[in-house]
Structure 1
């Protein structure tokens, strides 16, 4: 796997989220969601799902788990994904492939 494959997989997953995000919840998850809804008073439970994804992403990033999984699956880290270049390419070891869409990747919480 490579940086380009990771980029493609992220873009594919992102494109399909709006159509695919309807999940069945088990009893424990429903109870936890109900407690969070009552305590935090969001406009909708969708707001809590967004918050949960942000927290999981931040936690896996902060603990290094995201890099570990990306390194195992794609051979790159999150920093390499964001920059669009591997560490080897950054140090002048190889020339990076041009990004076809011209979009910059930015790390955002």
Structure 2
């Protein structure tokens, strides 16, 4: 799979989701959502679900889980997706330090 495959999958998923999403809640999730609704008093429970998705996404990015899964499935990272090109495309296929014969890189 590739960056193009990831882009196509994201676009397809975005289209499939539409504007609204019906979610089936299990007992534990409903109880937790009820507690959060009572404590945070949002205008509606949908706001809490939106916040939950944002928090899950942020946590997944920050812990590296998103990159790990993207690398396994599509052989790209989130940064590569955001840039619209792979690391190899950005660098011409070579890691910059491979071209340098820098014997001083470990010296302070």
Q: Shorter-chain TM-score: which interval? A: 0.7 to 0.9
- Quote the Cα distance in structure 1 between the aligned partners of 2:24 and 2:10: 23
SS in 1 for 2:22: coil
> Following TM superposition, where does structure 1 have runs of at least 4 consecutive aligned residues deviating by more than 2 angstroms?
none
Q: Which residue of 1 aligns with 2:86?
A: 86
Determine the structure 1 residue equivalent to 2:56. 56
Deviations 1:33-70 (A, max 9, x none): 00000111111111011100000000000000000000
Q: 2:25 is matched with which residue?
A: 25
Counterpart-to-counterpart distance in 1, 2:92 and 2:72:
23
Distance 2:33 2:46 in 1: 10
Cα RMSD between the aligned structures?
1.1
Tell me what 1:13 maps to. 13
Q: CA separation in 2, counterparts of 1:27 and 1:51?
A: 20
Q: Please, what TM-score do these two structures have when normalized by structure 1?
A: 0.82
Distance in 1 of aligned mates of 2:72 and 2:20: 26
In the TM superposition, what is the alpha-carbon distance from 1:32 to its structure 2 partner?
0.1
C-alpha separation between the residues in 1 aligned to 2:81 and 2:34?
Answer: 36
Cα displacement (A) at 1:15: 1.3
Rounded to whole Å, the distance in 1 between the matches of 2:11 and 2:87 is 22
